[in-house]
Amino acid sequence: MSSLLRAQLAPAPRTLIDVLTATAETHPDAAAIDDGSGDVLTYAELIDQVSDLAAELHRNGIRRGDRIGVRMASGSRQLYIAILATMWAGCAYVPVDADDPEERAELVFGEAGISGLFSDEGFRVLAPARPGDTDLPHLDDDCWIIFTSGSTGTPKGVAVTHRSAAAFVDAEARLFCQDVPLGPDDRVLAGLSVAFDASCEEMWLAWGHGACLVPAPRSLVRSGQDLGPWLIRRDITVVSTVPTLAGLWPAEALDNVRLLIVGGEACSQELVERLATPDREMWNTYGPTEATVVASAARQEPGKDVTIGFALDGWDLHVADDGELIIGGVGLARYLDPAKDAEKYAPVPGLDWDRAYRTGDNVRLTDDGLAFIGRADDQVKIGGRRIELGEVEANVAALPGVYNSAVAVQTTGAGDKVLVGYLSPEAGTDLDVAELRERLAEVMPAALVPRLHVMEELPIRTSGKVDKKALPWPLPASVEVAGMTPTESWLAEVWLDVLGLPAESRDADFFELGGSSLAAASLVARLRERVPTIAVRDLYDHPRLEALAGVIDAHGVAAEVVTRDVAPVGRGTRVAQTLIQVPVMTLHAATFVTWWAIIATALGWVSLNWVALAVLFIVVCTPLGRLPLGALGARAIRGRLQPGNYPRGGRVHVRLWAAERWVAATGALNISGSTWVAYFARLLGAQVGRGVDLHTVPPVTGLLTLGDNAAIEPEVDLSGYWLDGDILRVGTVTIGKDARVGARSTLLPGADIHAGAHIEPGSTVTGDKPVKKGARWAGSPARKVGRSKQRFPDYHPP
């Protein structure tokens, strides 16, 4: 098998601004950004605001080719408008996470040589104007410069041109959702920091297809599990994330998602088995920042090995003899440091490549694509962020009072990878771990700050280097904590599994021990196995062991079990039901009496008025008369009914029972599926739209709503009430436009089926949560199993 993997030719060259304007011309009124602030920004409005802000940059002396820093709070439209305006002005944006230390921000902006800075306070010019043009960006102009971890302790700036970035956007468009391409009906999660290059995929999955970018609040992204309900509530259909975060979500959190992309770290087989479905494309992607976000991708399917697939169109991949993956093609970026650039982007004479990026990743070529093996050096990925251990080790070694140190990646019992710094102190020095972590947090992003453990001396190999395999893990407790309650002891064990660090006091702080947002989400997932009502915010509000244990105890108090005796129906109810049978049976008998009278008159046995007989025949023997008689009679019997709970055998219950008997006596069962049944439902008080195809008897409650062109198959229970012991529960039943309910399904009180949804036959839909637009539900109780693929005919009943 050849070790050289070449895809199709790269898409036609263009800039990201070309991509944006083309989308805006095609979908000017489609939603472009919905940040939850109230007003949704359309593509036409986005273009106006971006171009206006770019013009303001030019008036402030900014010129094409300048670099602009972006350090703004995540989740707002202003952040994305600033990024787009920077590129529109012909400049490259240089992002720094708002939560990163000031020292790191100054280092990044200084290395990049920015001319201006976007912050939450506005835009500041930082350099005098220079000669230059104010054109839109050219193909080989930089669009972004993102800094990655550096082995020397200094972050490395990686510049990506518009040619490479737009080629990436267009190449991915050839991969995903080819049957039903992404478009204005899609909503794309924006949950990653813009200082992380995978955020570029989020943005342009939306803006390259006319979809809507939906930023998630940073607090929700950190919470992990709690982001799942938000995805459903905000109708997210496209998600690009790291496997660690996706693994925290229950499968139902992705019910509306039709495209799930994971990357940034290894994807597990278990994750694929759980999240890849026939109605959802799941892709595993691979690519370093140095090769423009993604260089290869593979669609993942249950039962097949996980791979990183083959090259994107325009990218070239080569597996060297030692297994290292080398990347060439249109996606190659460059380092700001010329010496580093020459080292890492050296030619490959054997392939006639003038430039190629040596990834340091080992792979194996299979029939299904490249299988990722691991790193060949000290570079690691944690939570999707690439980290050079050398940078972390350099900062740890520089801490005051440290004689020797080492940094290693360890794996917790929960499966999370964490950085741990091992320190041995100088003679006569006591190291304060909390203070040292604070010092590290001042110079490194939070993701790079390791947990620290002090040892008298580190294990040393005969070569004189630290023996990392001999470093202790999990870390032992240095003291025995006395006086813990049973809950505190259990919680301490869970902390040890999740963090790998022991809680050495009841006052131990989860985050001071090195707990990250992902670790917090893992912890809460474990806690919910015992206390389902615990929330991520409980951990953030009560990070100390004793306090969190108290919250767990408060949540864990079992609710009092309420029992009630169900008394038999009273004698009065039984008498009333017996008496009600008289008019019902009379209506039944009226049909036979009418036919007898007509036949007897025709044969001359009796002499009755033919006009009176004709009226009687129409009223009791034809749908034209029986349906109004049944509907109006039922409405008179049931009275003004409202949703609520009523006593079994009470007045409301008896009235409903009587109304159903009366309707049954009119023969309404015989008209289901005909055009008459829609009119009958309206007479009963139901709200029925145009073109409804109703093959079952409507409820006598009058609390049914059917949207235009809804289809209800035979034997569907729409009654809208049920008996819960001695309580009659009555509620509305709502079926939206173009929705379909399969045969023999049951819709309980409160059932709410949105437009275009599909309920499979034999399902039970409760009133607990709505069936969202376009979803397909099945089961008893019903849950989402995919997206509706139904196609309704052009003709519908009147």
Res 208: pLDDT: 97
Cβ(627)–Cβ(638) below 8 Å: no
Query: Residue 85's pLDDT is what?
Result: 98
Which sign, positive or negative, has the C-alpha torsion 223, 226, 232, 237? positive
Query: Is the confidence at residue 390, as pLDDT, over 80?
Result: no
The per-residue pLDDT for range 753-796, each reduced to its tens digit, is 999 999 988 888 988 888 988 888 888 788 777 777 654 444 44
Give percent above pLDDT 90 in the chain: 35
Residues 271, 536, 500, 546, CA torsion sign: negative
Q: Which residues of 281-292 are buried (b: 16+ CB within 10 A; e: fewer)?
A: bbbbbbbbbbbb
pTM above 0.85, yes or no: no
| Of residues 439, 400, 437, 438, the one with CA closest to residue 421 | 437
Radius of gyration of the chain (CA): 34
User: From its phi and psi, is residue 643 left (phi > 0), alpha (psi between -120 and 50) or beta?
Assistant: beta
Angstrom distance (rounded) from CA 80 to CA 199: 11
Q: Which CATH architecture has domain 486-555?
A: Orthogonal Bundle (1.10)
Q: Are strands 711-712 and 693-694 parallel, antiparallel or unpaired?
A: parallel
Q: Tell me, what's the pLDDT at 465? A: 63
Number of CB atoms found within 10 A of residue 235's CB: 17
Got the DSSP string for 587-625?
Answer: HHHHHHHHHHHHHHHHTTSS---HHHHHHHHHHHHSHHH
State yes or no: pLDDT of 286 exceeds 60.
yes
More confident residue, 47 or 408: 47
What 3-state class would DSSP assign to 156?
A: strand
Poorest-pLDDT segment among 3-7, 158-162, 371-375: 3-7
Residue 547 to residue 545: CA distance in whole angstroms: 6
- Joined together, the tokens standing for residue 442 give 């001042």
pLDDT at 796: 45
Q: Which of 195-204, 320-329, 510-519 has the lowest mean pLDDT?
A: 510-519
Buried-exposed string 477-488: b where 16+ CB fall within 10 A, e elsewhere: eeeebeebeebb
Burial of 335 (0-12, 13-18, 19+ CB in 10 A): buried
CATH number assigned to the domain with residue range 622-787, chosen from the 4 options 3.40.190.10, 3.90.1150.10, 2.160.10.10, 3.40.1280.10:
2.160.10.10
Produce one character per residue of 134-161: b if its CB has 16 or more CB atoms within 10 Å, e if not.
Answer: eebbeeebbbbbbbbbbbebbbbbbbbb
**DSSP characters over 529-554:** TT-TT--HHHHHH--BHHHHHHHHHH
State how far the Cα of 355 lies from the Cα of 332, in Å rounded to an integer: 8
Which segment, 209-213, 505-509, 567-571, 626-630, is predicted with the most confidence on average?
A: 209-213
Q: Please say if the pLDDT value at position 619 is more than 50.
A: yes
Higher pLDDT, 449 or 332: 332
Those residues with Cβ within 8 angstroms of residue 753's Cβ, 6 or more apart along the chain or in another chain: 734, 735, 736, 739, 741, 747, 759, 765, 770, 771
Q: What is the DSSP string of 210-267?
A: T-EEEEPPHHHHHHSTTHHHHHHHTT--EEEE-HHHHTTS-GGGGTT-SEEEE-SSPP
651-659 contacts, C-beta under 8 A, 24 or more apart: 652/728, 652/730, 653/573, 653/728, 654/573, 654/576, 654/577, 654/580, 656/700, 656/701, 656/721, 656/728, 656/730, 657/577, 657/580, 658/577, 658/580, 658/584, 659/633, 659/634, 659/635, 659/700
- Render pLDDT for 659-705 as a digit per residue (tens, 0 to 9): 888 777 777 667 766 777 888 888 888 899 998 988 888 888 888 99
Q: At what angle do helices 623-638 and 676-683 cross, to 10 degrees?
A: 30
Region 525-529: mean pLDDT is 83
Tell me what pLDDT residue 349 has: 86
Interval 617-625 mean pLDDT: 71
Cα–Cα distances (Å) from 247 to 205, 309, 501, in that order, read: 22, 21, 23
Query: CB atoms < 10 A from the CB of 650, how many?
Result: 15
**Same fold: 486-555 with 622-787:** no
Dist. CA 354–CA 675, nearest whole Å: 74
What pLDDT is recorded for position 794? 42
Q: What is the DSSP letter of 460?
A: B
Residue 118: predicted pLDDT: 97
234, two tokens: 């905000």
Using a pLDDT cut of 70, give the percent of the chain over it.
Answer: 89
pLDDT of residue 558: 47
CB 101 within 8 A of CB 150: no
Please list the alpha-helical segments (H only) found in 131-182. 162-173
| All structural domains of the chain with their residue ranges | 4-127+139-369, 379-454, 486-555, 622-787
Helix (H) / strand (E) containing 454: strand 451-454
In this structure, the strands spanning 238-241 and 259-262 are parallel
What was the pLDDT predicted at 470? 83
Residue 433 has pLDDT above 90, yes or no: no
Fold of 379-454: GMP Synthetase; Chain A, domain 3 (3.30.300)
Model confidence pLDDT, tens digit, residues 707-742: 999 999 988 988 888 887 778 888 999 999 999 999
Q: Is the CB of residue 93 less than 8 Å from the CB of residue 16?
A: no
Which three-class secondary structure state does DSSP give residue 398? coil
pLDDT surpassing 90 at residue 112: yes
Strands 727-730 and 644-647: antiparallel
Residue 290, pLDDT > 70, answer yes
- Using CA atoms, how far apart are residues 325 and 726, in angstroms rounded to an integer? 70
Determine the pLDDT at residue 659: 81
Smallest CA-to-CA distance from 308 within 254, 259, 366 is with: 366
Pairing of strands 122-125, 116-119: antiparallel
* C-alpha angle 4-381-162 in degrees, rounded to nearest 5: 60
Residue recorded with tokens 């972004």? 144
Q: Which residue has the higher pLDDT, 317 or 678?
A: 317
pLDDT tens-digit series, residues 160-199:
999 999 999 999 999 999 999 999 999 999 998 899 899 9
Of the options 3.40.50.300, 3.40.50.12780, 1.10.3470.10, 3.90.1110.10, the CATH number for the domain spanning 4-127+139-369: 3.40.50.12780
Dump pLDDT digits (tens) for 17-57.
999 999 999 999 999 999 988 789 999 999 999 999 999 99
Q: Tell me the pLDDT of the chain averaged across its residues.
A: 85
Position with higher pLDDT, 588 vs 164 = 164
Residues 680, 627 contacting (CB under 8 angstroms): yes
Q: Which residue has the tokens 């898409």?
A: 11
Among 117-126, 160-169, 201-210, 405-414, whose mean pLDDT is lowest? 405-414
Q: Which residues contact 564 (CB under 8 A, 6 or more apart)?
A: 725, 726
Does residue 560 register a pLDDT over 60?
no
What pLDDT was estimated at residue 373? 82
Q: Output the pLDDT for position 412.
A: 72
Q: Which residue has the higher pLDDT, 464 or 220?
A: 220
Q: Where are the alpha helices (DSSP H) in 418-485?
A: 433-441
Cβ pair 722, 641 in contact under 8 A = no
